Amino acid sequence: MKAVILDADSLGEGIDLSPLEQQVDELVCHPLTAPHEVNQRIADADIVITNKVVLNGDTLRNANQIKLICVLATGMNNIDRDTANELGIAVKNVEAYGTPSVVQHTLMMMLSLATKMPVMQKRMAAGDWQQSPLFTLLDPPTYQLAGKHLVIVGSGELGQAVKKQAEALGMRVTFTARPGKTDDSRPSFDALLPEADVISFHCPLTEDTKGLLNRNNIKHCQPHTLVINNARGGVANEHDVLEALRKGQIGGYATDVLPQEPPKDGHPLLDALNEPLNLIVTPHNAWTSPEARQRIIELTAENISALK
């Protein structure tokens, strides 16, 4: 069997591909693949491996040999799964490969927002400590997480792992009901907002979670509430969140995701990084520890092995 990786550069350097090589007769790696190159590169492939390269219906119908599509990620929105199913092409993703990495990133964001690190770093760069009449800077005051209430949207493996670490910090943790599910007995997201000290998103982007946090319900948040989004861009309405942050309706916002990635057209949150706000934006790199990326290869190899 021949396998083709369409965007191997998304794995970064130093990743051992031998688990994949052991499963196939030939492995062809392309660093990146432009849309106009896809048809030619998958024409004689039995297995197509992709992270973010789009495989639409026309592309799949033009490829005669594909038996399996392996996605090097959890999300599969770049694959026309209906057409794949119609053609008898299996589609497999990878899950839970980066749980420790993403949990670590979430804690970093939570602790950084609580200690007002983004604002303090700007004050340090401006020379405020050097000019202080005291030995310290007391403004803005830091925020102790012990005893505070963390509300998590998404009770899967990631959410459960964040809960465990937050409880180790002395926090009380509550999971919301799954948005859009009327048979979930847990309290809804909106019902928990008034008592949330910290909110952390670990849910997929769906019609029910799009814009879940927005100007209509932000007004029910406490002014010190810290919000963390390591889920998907658009789960929180970024424009509304930024407005709330500027108005002091929430105490901080940290995100590793934006609706368009990379944000080639810019984004208001990126512009706001120059403002004295308790704001963190990272480049969708919560998952990128070498251990997590190597685990992607191992899980993909298992997906290929299951086909044989």
Mean pLDDT for the chain overall: 95
Mean pLDDT of 109-119: 97
pLDDT digits (tens, 9 = 90+) for 10-20: 999 999 999 99
CA angle 90, 39, 292 (to 5 degrees): 55
Identify whether 232 is a catalytic site residue: yes
Domains 2-96+289-307 and 99-281 share a fold: yes
Binned at pLDDT 50, 70 and 90, residue 75 comes out as confident
Share of the chain above pLDDT 90, in %: 94
Give dist(CA 55, CA 81) in Å, integer: 9
Give residue 148's pLDDT.
Answer: 98
- Active-site choice (30, 232, 267, 295): 232
Contact 151, 200 (CB under 8 A): yes
Identify whether 261 is a catalytic site residue: yes
Element of type H or E holding 111 = helix 99-114
Query: What's the CATH fold of domain 2-96+289-307?
Result: Rossmann fold (3.40.50)
Taking domain 99-281, whether its CATH number is 3.30.9.10 is answered by no
Residues across the chain: 308
- Active-site choice (26, 261, 275, 298): 261
Give residue 64's pLDDT.
Answer: 85
Mean pLDDT of 81-99: 94
102, two tokens: 């993403």
CA nearest 56: which of 90, 80, 89? 80
Give residue 77's pLDDT.
Answer: 86
**Residue 292 scores a pLDDT above 90:** yes
Give residue 233's pLDDT.
Answer: 93
Mean pLDDT of 159-177: 98
Mean pLDDT of 44-56: 96
**Residue 286 CB neighbour total at 10 angstroms:** 21
Give residue 182's pLDDT.
Answer: 86
**Residue 194 scores a pLDDT above 80:** yes
In the chain, where are the structural domains located? 2-96+289-307, 99-281
Mean pLDDT of 117-141: 95
Give residue 85's pLDDT.
Answer: 95
**Residue 307 scores a pLDDT above 90:** no
